[in-house]
Amino acid sequence: MKTSTSLAIVGGVAALFANAIGSPAQAQTILNVTTAGSENMVDYVTDYLAPKFKETHPDVEIRVVGTGPGDAGSQKIYEKLAAQKAAGMEEVDVDVAVVHQKMAGQMVEEGLLAKYRDDIETGKLVTRETATNALGTNVDGYVMPMFHSQTALAYNPALISDPPQSYAELAEWVKEHPGQFGYNGIREGMSGVAFVVGWIYSNTDGADKLVSGPYDAALKETWSDALAQLKDFNQHITFTPSNAGTLDMLNRGEIGMGPVWVDMFYTWQADGRLAPDVKLELIEPGMPGQPMYYVTPENAAQPELARDFIALATSPEVQAEGIVKTFNWYPGIDAQHIQQAVDEATWDKLFADVTPEELATKGKPFPIGPYFDDILEAYERNVEN
């Protein structure tokens, strides 16, 4: 790509960021933090992390830019960094970024990110696989999880006193309790997609390969029995309209059990939209979740401040107060490191049904991209039809 073309691309992508970032001359030192995700991600950095960071770095101004939800938000960050690298810029105007798994792996592969985890004290506080493997890409050292979002089964104990403990038990249970289990398929939200991915993990060989790769297109041909069983399973369940719809139908007693995002589950309970006695079960062999990552670009203008910021954001105290108590997310660092920093009531609420040990062993990553696509296509072809 010619330099002039690269600079044009940089200019186009940068338009999204220009108003928020402004001119570096406006402050002595500026730390630029760019985050994918919903508006609450921007609010978290602006209203919670930034003031805490300024307590120890009073001369630093933190500029926060949001790029939007989902993988598309992370894509915008990737495009900006890739264009600036192609243009030969010695420094980029992103110091810290918050991105999804899929794009983090691509950024590492293309040399856009700095390897920093061993440089910060909190780097040793995370051992979960998602800190080293992002959907099949080795990201060890390049990322720190901001939080982990996890799926599990929610159930109403007034209707179900002895919930199934595994996918195998659930398959038998739905035959005895038709219509009581509900999920939203693969088209109406990621809690349903996560349930289907967990079904494939449970009912096929080679789950580790789905997570770690390498990709083998022939592997999907071995899923026929699992997909046939899932099609039969669907004859005994209720389809829900969305992630929120599953929770709503649980609350109204229209279903007794269904897959949910844990943070969404607790937020609904805190808001009074879900009965307080509804519980969670993380069934064997496990269900998938996903982290958001803190990363810092290879050519960040403020590499040391970026490391300081991420170290603060992943400290036990901040993870306890900001991530767990405020947003009902599971912590990015290993849960045992926050127990002393979080009040007993918050700890008991978050880990009452799914313990830290269960989370470590049964909280699964999503599969690498090609296998993920294969699972969705196989479901459309063999289960929906």
∠ CA 79-82-88 to the nearest 5 degrees? 140
Q: Is 88 helix (H, G, I), strand (E, B) or coil?
A: coil
In the chain, helix, strand, coil percent, each to 5? 55, 15, 30
Domain 3-148+290-354 classified CATH 3.40.190.10? yes
Token readout for 66 is: 């949001």
Mention every residue, 6+ apart, whose C-beta is less than 8 A from residue 127.
Answer: 334
pLDDT for the residue numbered 4: 42
Token readout for 308 is: 């300081």
pLDDT for the residue numbered 25: 45
Element (H, E) at 321: none
Mention every residue, 6+ apart, whose C-beta is less than 8 A from residue 177.
Answer: 160, 256
Each domain of the chain, given as residue ranges in start order, spans 3-148+290-354, 149-289+363-384
CATH number assigned to the domain covering 149-289+363-384? 3.40.190.10
∠ CA 37-40-43 to the nearest 5 degrees? 115
pLDDT for the residue numbered 10: 47
pLDDT for the residue numbered 27: 45
pLDDT for the residue numbered 253: 95
Q: pLDDT by residue for the chain (385 residues), tens digit each?
A: 444 444 444 445 555 554 544 444 444 799 999 999 878 889 999 999 999 999 999 999 999 999 987 778 899 999 999 999 999 999 999 999 999 988 999 999 999 999 999 999 999 999 888 899 898 889 999 999 999 989 999 999 999 999 999 999 999 999 999 999 999 999 888 899 999 999 999 999 989 899 888 999 999 999 999 999 999 999 999 999 999 999 999 999 999 999 999 988 998 998 999 999 999 999 999 999 989 999 999 999 999 999 999 999 999 999 999 999 888 888 999 988 998 898 888 888 888 899 888 988 898 989 988 999 999 999 999 999 8
Q: How far is residue 144's CA from residue 21's CA, in Å, rounded to a whole number?
A: 24
Whose tokens are 């127990």? That residue is 339
pLDDT for the residue numbered 17: 52
Whose tokens are 């849960």? That residue is 335
